[in-house]
Amino acid sequence: MMVGEAAWRLSQPLKDRNPHVPWKQIEGMRHIMVHDYFKVDWSIVYTTAKTNVPALKTLVQAMLSSLPTGTP
């Protein structure tokens, strides 16, 4: 849920510069887990945690490394 919350709070320009990250799916899963928790398919949560989160980590690390360093 924290990943979805963090994604939701990112600026739209940052998301637009990184369309390879599945922002809508991340935010959508967070919404279901928070608001429709009786409908949560735990096998999907498990698969996401084991497969998709490690892949997402790689995408986010690449995104962070492309950001300018230092303070404006």
Per-residue model confidence as pLDDT tens digits over 23-69: 999 999 999 988 988 889 999 999 999 999 999 999 999 988 888 88
Q: Which H, E and C letters describe 35-65, residue by residue?
A: HCHHHCCHHHHHHHHHHHHHHHHHHHHHHHH
Which of 9, 17, 20, 30 is labelled catalytic?
30
Q: Is the pLDDT of residue 70 over 80?
A: no
Residue 64, pLDDT score? 87
pTM above 0.85, yes or no: no
Is 30 designated active site?
Answer: yes
Q: Exactly one of 9, 20, 31, 35 is catalytic; which is it? A: 35
31 catalytic residue (yes or no): no
